[in-house]
Amino acid sequence: MHDLAGGPFNVNSVKQLREVLYEQLALTPVRKTKTGFSTDARTLESLRGQHPIVEVLLRYREVEKLRSTYGETLAAEVASDGRIHATFRQTVARTGRLSSDRPNLHNIPVRTEEGRQLRRAFVPSPGHRLLVADYDQIELRVIAHLADDPGLIAAFAEERDIHRTTAARVFGVPAEEVTGPQRNRAKMVSYGLAYGMEAFGLAQRLGIVTAEAQEILDAYFRAFPSVRAHMEQTVNEARSKGYTETLFGRRRSLPDLHSPNRGLRMAAERQAMNAGIQGLAADLFKVALVRLDGALEEQALAARLVLQVHDEVLVEVPGDEEETVGALVAEVLSGVADAVGLAVPLKVSSAWGSTWADAKG
């Protein structure tokens, strides 16, 4: 790195790295932060090819993240019983999700193969396997319910590939003719919805111009008009009440909806749209966890809940209970849909593994 930079510097120092990249090497800055030009991964990606140091930096950041946050640190958290006992906090996340700290077990790597290897360290007791069950597109299903959108509800009811179906309606082609990129764009729109994403944000993520992103969004809202209506109604209601409220009565106060500061106000509007969606998904999942724990107890099963990750649960199951518990977990998790009269079914995917890394569908 020294040789590439023309001298020694601390790679972990953003300040020093800025000097190296944008002054000594005179690379073209792309984005700014409060304190100067950005050096984050997205920026570095776009600087690729300008100088060989960029590739090395990206790789360094990747392995250094794994080393400093997970490798040695996580190993040090293992208690004398061989387990990690994180704290799950009920009153931190404003939406009703749990948060996990000391350590955070909600962000164990999974997206790269190298990072995913860390999950091999998470193993059940001898004679047990891990059952990993998660909800498929729970937030999108919650949107379908809240917006009471006939098109979305029908798509979920018929168990169709939701992103393909969405793409077909947005791009006006038969479902079987939807291309890979079209499906990906529809998927991005669907997920962006829950966050109040606008054309600009969609354009950034898809690498297209804002006008084209706007056309896609317009087409989406033409296809699923109740979704836009629901978003608008949610913000209006929050504005007059001062808070949002989930079906379970969970409130989130949003005073910034009346802020004179435009940025704060718009952020609060996005939070209003998201709170009911993320919040209801969190509420449903927590009901499922309580029921699951109760059912294991009631049926005198030895299987135990060991971790939850927002829409996913890990259960440690002895060999002779696999069949029973596998069926029970799926039934309890999907069962909460009926409990609140959800307009769409909740689909659950399950996988078994002798480590967390192996349990993949």
Partner DNA sequence: TCTGTCACG
Partner DNA sequence: ACGTACGTGACAGAC
Considering only residues 73 through 102, tell me which ones interact with DNA, judged by CB under 7 A: 73, 89, 92-95, 97, 99-102
Name, in order, each residue with C-beta under 8 angstroms of 162's C-beta and a sequence gap of 6 or more: 137, 140, 152, 155, 156, 190
* Interacting residue with DNA among 38, 50, 349, 355 (CB under 7 A): 38
Instruction: Check binding of 2 to DNA (CB under 7 A).
Output: no
**What angle, rounded to 10 degrees, do the helices at 138-147 and 225-241 form?**
80
Stretches 150-158, 167-175, 204-212, 223-231: which one binds DNA (CB under 7 A)?
Answer: 204-212
Does 274 interact with DNA (rule: CB under 7 A)?
A: yes
Of the candidate spans 61-69, 216-224, 293-301, 351-359, the one that interacts with DNA by CB under 7 A turns out to be 61-69
- Residues counted in the chain: 361
Residue 137 in the binding site for DNA (CB under 7 A): no
When asked if residue 41 is in the footprint of DNA (CB under 7 A), the reply is yes
Element (H, E) at 252: strand 251-253
* Total residues in contact with DNA, by rule CB under 7 A: 72
CB of 320 to DNA, least distance (A): 30
Query: With binding defined as CB under 7 A, does residue 165 bind DNA?
Result: no
Binding part of the chain for DNA, among 177-185, 216-224, 272-280, 337-345 by CB under 7 A, reads 272-280
User: What does the block give as tokens for 120?
Assistant: 């091999």
Sign of CA pseudo-dihedral 241, 242, 243, 244: positive
Q: Is 278 in the site for DNA (CB under 7 A)?
A: yes
Sole binder of DNA in the list 108, 170, 303, 314 (CB under 7 A): 108
Q: What is the DSSP string of 102-170?
A: SS--S----SSHHHHGGGGG--PPTTEEEEEEEESSHHHHHHHHHHT-HHHHHHHHTT--HHHHHHHHH
Distance of alpha carbon 48 from alpha carbon 27, whole angstroms = 10
Least distance to DNA, CB of residue 168, Å: 21
Tell me how far apart the alpha carbons of residues 137 and 166 are, in angstroms, rounded to a whole number: 13
Token pair 């004398």 is found at 80
The reply on whether position 355 binds DNA by CB under 7 A is no
Please choose, from the candidates 137, 267, 263, 96, the residue with its C-alpha nearest in 3D space to the C-alpha of residue 196.
Answer: 267
Write the DSSP symbol of residue 32: B
User: In the set 24, 28, 46, 68, which binds DNA (CB under 7 A)?
Assistant: 68
Structure tokens at 325: 């518990």
Rule CB under 7 A: say whether 312 interacts with DNA. yes
Q: Which is nearer to DNA, 36 or 172 (CB)?
A: 36
Query: Which range in 65-73, 161-169, 178-186, 333-341 contacts DNA by CB under 7 A?
Result: 65-73
Site mask for DNA (CB under 7 A), range 180-199, x = bound: --------x--xx-xxxxx-
Decide if residue 350 touches DNA (CB under 7 A). no
Q: Which of 210, 259, 334, 355 binds DNA (CB under 7 A)?
A: 210
| Nearest-angstrom CA–CA distance, 190 and 214 | 14
Establish if 260 lies at the interface with DNA (CB under 7 A): no
* Candidate list 129, 169, 310, 347; residue touching DNA; CB under 7 A: 310
Would you put residue 127 in left (φ > 0), alpha (ψ -120 to 50) or beta? left
Answer yes or no whether residue 71 interacts with DNA by CB under 7 A. Answer: no
Query: Are 345 and 156 a contacting pair, CB within 8 Å?
Result: yes
Comparison of 42 and 85: residue with beta carbon closer to DNA: 42
